[in-house]
């Protein structure tokens, strides 16, 4: 392997980063109509809870997040209508859920991940947060978990 000075390696990394940033920008620009439609829909549902992130290499991964607080339950009409509006705007379906067990209030996250034109990955995560005094949902302790882990140390003679 040929020796390369640190400055050459760092310069090449910077050039690769710049190239990836240009390609990511082009991909985001080419799909701007869909991305803007999704974000407008999320902001119409909850302006303060809508966020969007983009990261990755040459092909971006775009993550949309929406928090819907103060729901009466997971069958609340606001939540159901919000999920339907997002599915219609994005052309996707929510196929995974995750319940938050560490939070003091019940919360469930609905997720959908899909690819746009086989290139860009888009993920939409909607977090439904239930009121602490909701009559239909509450956080209840159903058991305890005890985990035994082996402990190691290095002993030398």
Give the domain CATH number at 30: 3.30.460
Global confidence as pTM: 0.81
Share of the chain above pLDDT 90, in %: 62
Q: Tell whether 33 is covered by a domain.
A: yes
Q: What is the pLDDT of residues 58-108, one digit of tens each?
A: 888 999 999 999 998 899 999 999 999 999 999 999 999 998 867 677 889
Task: Give the pLDDT mean for 41-60.
Answer: 90
**Containing structural domain, residue 69:** 7-130
Q: Tell whether 124 is covered by a domain.
A: yes
pLDDT at 103: 67
Residue 1 pLDDT > 80: no
Q: Tell whether 110 is covered by a domain.
A: yes
Q: Tell whether 135 is covered by a domain.
A: no
Q: Tell whether 12 is covered by a domain.
A: yes
Q: Tell whether 76 is covered by a domain.
A: yes
Query: What secondary structure, in 3-state letters, does the chain show?
Result: CCCCCHHHHHHHHHHHHHHHHHHHHHHHHHCHHHHHHHHHHHHHHCHHHEEEEEEECCCEEEEEEEEEEEECCCCCHHHHHHHHHHHHHHCCCCCEEEEECCCCCCEEEEEEEEEECCCEEEEEEEEEEECCCCCCCCCCCCCCCCCCCCCCCCCCC
Q: Tell whether 154 is covered by a domain.
A: no
Q: How confident is the model at residue 34 (pLDDT cuts 50, 70, 90)?
A: very high
Q: What is the pLDDT of residues 101-129, one digit of tens each?
A: 676 778 899 999 999 977 899 999 999 99
Q: Tell whether 144 is covered by a domain.
A: no
Residue 40 pLDDT > 80: yes
If one counts the domains in the chain, the total is 1
């Amino acid at each position: 392997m040929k020796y390369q000075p640190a400055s050459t390696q760092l310069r090449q990394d910077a050039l690769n980063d710049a190239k990836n940033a240009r390609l990511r920008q082009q991909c985001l620009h080419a799909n701007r109509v869909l991305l803007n439609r999704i974000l407008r829909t999320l902001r119409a549902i909850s302006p303060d809870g809508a966020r969007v992130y983009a990261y990755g290499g040459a092909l971006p991964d775009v993550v949309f997040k929406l928090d819907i607080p103060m729901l009466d339950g997971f069958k609340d009409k606001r939540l159901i209508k919000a999920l339907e509006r997002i599915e219609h705007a994005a052309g996707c379906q929510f196929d995974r859920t995750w319940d938050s067990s560490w939070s003091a209030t019940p919360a469930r996250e609905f997720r959908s991940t899909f690819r746009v034109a086989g290139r860009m990955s888009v993920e939409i995560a909607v977090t439904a947060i239930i009121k602490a005094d909701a009559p239909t949902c509450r956080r209840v302790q159903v058991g305890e978990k005890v985990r035994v882990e082996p402990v190691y140390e290095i002993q030398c003679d």
